[in-house]
Amino acid sequence: MMSTKTKESKKIATYSLMLMGAGFIATIPFQGSFWVDLVQGGFEAGLVGGLADWFAVTALFRHPLGLRIPHTALLPNNRQRVTNALVKMLKNDWLSKESIQEKVKKVQFTNMLIPLVEKEIQKSAFRKGLIELLQQLIRTIDVEKMTPFVKNQLKSNLSKIEMSKLLGLISSQLLNEQFDKKALDFLLKKAENWLSKEQTSHQLGTVSMNILGKIEVEGILQFALKSIQSILNEEKLGNIIKNLLLSVLNSLKHEEDPNRKALIQYIQKEIQGMNDNRELLEGVEKWKAQFLDNWEPDQTIKESLQQIQLSVLELVEDETFIDTYLMPLINHILDNLKGRNDQIDEWIRKQIAVLVEKNHSQIGDLVQENLDKLDNETLTKMVENNVGKDLQWIRVNGAVCGFIIGIFLTGIQALFRMV
C-alpha cells in the first residue's frame, strides 16, 4: 500500500500538471498580446516538462497508460539485474565481512551487557523468572536415569581405594586417639566385671581341678599334686585363682606398671603394622571385592537422590534463598567478569568473526530469497512507496522549471521579433 506522504506528493504533481494544462488552454483565445504570449509560453513549456517527467517517472515502474512502449516498466523488466545488483552491493559493500568485523572491534560487549544484567537482576520479575527456571531445571532431573551412573561411579571409586593406605590412615587415627590404652582399659574392665561375678570362682575352680586331674606326672610331683587336690576343693581353688587374676588386673591399671607398658607397646606395634600385614591386606582386599560384587545400592541411591532433589526444591522455594545464596553468587560472577572484560570481549569478537566468516554468504542469499518471494507488482509498490515521494516532486519540479524556462524563452523570442 502506498504511504500517505507518497499519495500527497503524487496529488501535488498531478495538480501541477493540470495547472499547466489549464493555463495553456485558457490563454489560447487571448493570443497576440505580449504578456499573454509570455505566460502561454510558460504554461506550454511547463506542460511539456511535466508530461515528460511524468512519463519518465511512470516508465520506471510500469508502462505509461498501459502502452507497451519500448524502454518502459524498467524495474519489472530488469528485476533480476536490479535485485542482483542490490544483493551484490549489500553483500560486498554495505555488509562486507571486513566492515562487519571492523564494526565489531569497536563494540565493548561487557560494558554493555554487565550493567544491563545488574539492572535486570534487581527487578522482581527477573527474580521470579529465575527461581521458576531453577525449579523447572531441578524437576526435570530424572533420578532413575542418574542412579546407574552414580552407582557405577561409587563402585569405580571404591574399587580404586588402596587398602594399605586406608589401613595406614586407620592405624594413625587409632594411635592419635590412644586406642591402644582405651582398648586395654576396656578389656581390663570387662575382665574385672567377669571376675566380680559369684559364679566365676566356681567356674575357675572347676576348670582348674579338671586340668589338675588330667596332668600326668611321677614321683614326688605326683605326690604333691595329689596333696593339693586333697587339701583344696573347687571353691577354694577358684577363689585363689580369682584373687590372683584380680591382683594382676589392678596392677595393669597403673600407668607405670611394666606389664601394662609392655602390653601397650605390643598393641601399638600391631596397630602400626596393620598396613604391612600381608594376610590382613589380602583379607581386606578380598572382602572389598566380594562386597562390591554383591553390593546392590540402586534403591538406596535412588531414594537418596530423590530426597536431595526435594531438599533442593525446598531450599530454592524458600523466600530467603535468592538473597542469601543466589544473588551473592550472581554478583560474584559479575565482579569476576568485570575484571576480565578485555578477555571476554576478545573471545566474543572471535566467535562473531568465525560466525561471519562461515555464514556471510547467507546474508546475500537471505536477501535474494526474500526478494524472489515478491511478485513484480509487490516489488514495484514497495520501491515506489519508499522513493515515490521524491520522484513525484521531480514531476512538480519539471512543471515549475518548464514554466520558468518557457517564459524566459518566449521573452527572448519576443525580443528578437522586436529587433
- pLDDT, tens digit, 9 for 90 and up, residues 298-336: 999 999 999 999 999 999 888 888 888 888 888 888 888
Q: Are 368 and 83 in contact (CB under 8 A)?
A: yes
Maximum distance among all Cα pairs of the chain, rounded to whole angstroms: 188
What is the predicted pLDDT for the residue at 304?
A: 93
Q: Compute the average pLDDT of residues 365-382.
A: 64
pLDDT confidence band for 177 (50 / 70 / 90): confident
- Count CB-CB contacts under 10 A for residue 356: 17
**What does pLDDT average to over the chain?**
77
Q: Which three cell numbers stand for residue 276?
A: 604391612
What is the predicted pLDDT for the residue at 310?
A: 92
What is the predicted pLDDT for the residue at 279?
A: 84
Q: Tell which residue, 16, 58, 141, has the closest CA to residue 388.
A: 58
Q: To the nearest 5 percent, what fractions of the chain are helix, strand and coil?
A: 85, 0, 15
Q: Which three cell numbers stand for residue 343?
A: 578477555
Instruction: Return the residue matching grid coordinates 586331674.
Output: 213
Helix (H) or strand (E) run with residue 155 in it:
helix 143-159
Q: Which residues contact 56 (CB under 8 A, 6 or more apart)?
A: 394
242-275 core/surface letters (b: 16 or more CB in 10 A; e: else):
beebeeeeeebeeeeeeebeebbeebbeebeebb
Residue 206 lies in a domain: yes
- Count CB-CB contacts under 10 A for residue 309: 15
Task: Specify the pTM.
Answer: 0.47
Instruction: Return the residue matching grid coordinates 489549464.
Output: 22
Check whether residue 170 and residue 66 sit in a common domain: no
Check whether residue 174 and residue 270 sit in a common domain: yes
> What is the tally of helices (H) and strands (E) in the chain?
21, 0
Instruction: Return the residue matching grid coordinates 531453577.
Output: 134
Structural domain of 43: 4-77+374-418
Residue 316 lies in a domain: no
Residue 147 lies in a domain: no
Residue 220 lies in a domain: yes
6-16 pLDDT, tens per residue? 566 667 667 77
Q: What is the DSSP letter of 94?
A: I
What is the predicted pLDDT for the residue at 36?
A: 73
Residue 145 lies in a domain: no
Most confident range, picked from 137-141, 227-231, 268-272, 372-376: 137-141
Most confident range, picked from 45-59, 165-179, 381-395: 165-179
Q: Are 56 and 71 in contact (CB under 8 A)?
A: no
- The lowest-confidence range among 35-49, 152-166, 240-254 is 35-49
Q: Are 82 and 321 in contact (CB under 8 A)?
A: no
Check whether residue 172 and residue 272 sit in a common domain: yes
Q: Compute the average pLDDT of residues 126-140.
A: 89
Q: Tell which residue, 239, 269, 252, 257, has the closest CA to residue 191.
A: 252
Whether residue 74 has pLDDT greater than 60? no
Q: Which of 291, 308, 329 is the last residue of a domain?
A: 291
Q: Which of 291, 314, 348 is the last residue of a domain?
A: 291
Residue 232 lies in a domain: yes
**Number of domain units in the chain:** 2
Check whether residue 72 and residue 168 sit in a common domain: no
What is the predicted pLDDT for the residue at 121?
A: 83
240-279 pLDDT, tens per residue? 888 888 888 888 888 888 888 898 888 888 888 877 778 8
Residue 264 lies in a domain: yes
Residue 349 lies in a domain: no
Q: Which three cell numbers stand for residue 272?
A: 602400626
Check whether residue 168 and residue 287 sit in a common domain: yes
What is the predicted pLDDT for the residue at 96?
A: 66
Amino acid identity at 125: A
What is the predicted pLDDT for the residue at 344?
A: 84
Q: Which of 274, 291, 308 is the last residue of a domain?
A: 291
212-248 pLDDT, tens per residue? 666 665 556 665 656 666 666 777 777 888 888 888 8
